[in-house]
Amino acid sequence: MIDLPLKKGERDAAAVTRVSGSRLPGSVMAPAQAAPSPRPKPSPPPATNLRPAKGRFEPANFSSGRGREPGRRRGRVMRRAETMVHQVLYRALVSTKWLAESVRAGKLGPGLRVLDASWYSPGTREARKEYLERHVPGASFFDIEECRNAASPYEMMLPSEAHFADYVGRLGISNQTHVVVYDGDNLGCFYAPRVWWMFRVFGHRTVSVLNGGFRNWLKEGHPVTSEPSRPEPAVFKATLDRSLLKTYEQVLENLESKRFQLVDSRSQGRYLGTEPEPDAVGLDPGHIRGSVNMPFMDFLTEDGFEKSPEELRAMFEAKKVNLTQPLIATCRKGVTACHIALAAYLCGKPDVAVYDGSWSEWFRRAPPETRVSQWKREKA
């Protein structure tokens, strides 16, 4: 069973939080309401077993309703339920205050690792240099340029299972580690959700994003250091979860089957094709036919924090995106698409898939009639 950094009461409460209700600070809401026990005595601790059903997670009531279950069986059921809760209801977000307290208490180590996943466009800022100047104490630098498929002609494609396992293992991360990811972007969060999704797509569920990012860590006066982290290497086993990943062929097939909703996270201008793709050679702007535009910046507050689940849910509803139905997220290179996956997760939908190749691949491979853009008309 994975040991999560949740307080006891907080962990139990997370198991029974309603999608439509309030959430715990820094924690994800339960995808479904836990079924209450019909027996007034004794009162078992709340727990929910979550099982895939028709593309979403639904609660299963373990109580038979025929009286008291044998103690041994009930114990097994509760342990199994708790394990499932831990696998699904880990914190998608942690607060700067929580992380600062963890650092101060000396909790960073094999059970809790922090990663600086900053990346900036060439010629702007230097992520590794800034990391070496100051970072969260104990944090390691996650170089997304090193942890990708460099042989692919498309941008930022996932590495192999073996590559990812070796890379994060050298950062001291095992399958029992809770990973917290942040970046230093001025928005508060840019590349961190991509690394959050990478861990999830390789089968690791105990991973969180630092809400507010390094921007707010500094603003709130939390400690920084220039000392590089040198963790002891660990063994990490990566298992690709194909349900969270979509390929070009699958997205192409979906244009006909329409089994999945498709949401593009880029700015409206790049989506429509009225403004260019930044730092791109031979890549016109535009979008995949049938996709809906939800710019990832809109998921963040002006202060760089993730908006509340209620606000996020209203945003999806305004775009007529049904969170009870299958969903694919896309962007230019599979990075900001992960903001859509994170926002949906905070609304109780943990199964959003990301089209890894995104527009970078689609523009170069897809039939012209599947690409929608005003770029050529604007240029003319």
Catalytic residues: 331
Q: Which residue matches tokens 């962007």?
A: 331
Q: Which residue matches tokens 């696998």?
A: 87
- Cα separation, 376 vs 368, whole angstroms: 13
Cis peptide before 42 (omega within 30 of 0): yes
Cβ distance 233 to 169 under 8 Å? yes
- Cα separation, 104 vs 225, whole angstroms: 13
Beta-strand ranges (E) seen in the chain are 49-53, 56-60, 93-94, 112-116, 140-141, 178-182, 207-210, 245-246, 261-264, 287-288, 292-293, 327-330, 353-355, 371-372
Going by the DSSP 8-state scheme, the letter that residue 345 receives in this structure is H
Cβ distance 262 to 336 under 8 Å? no
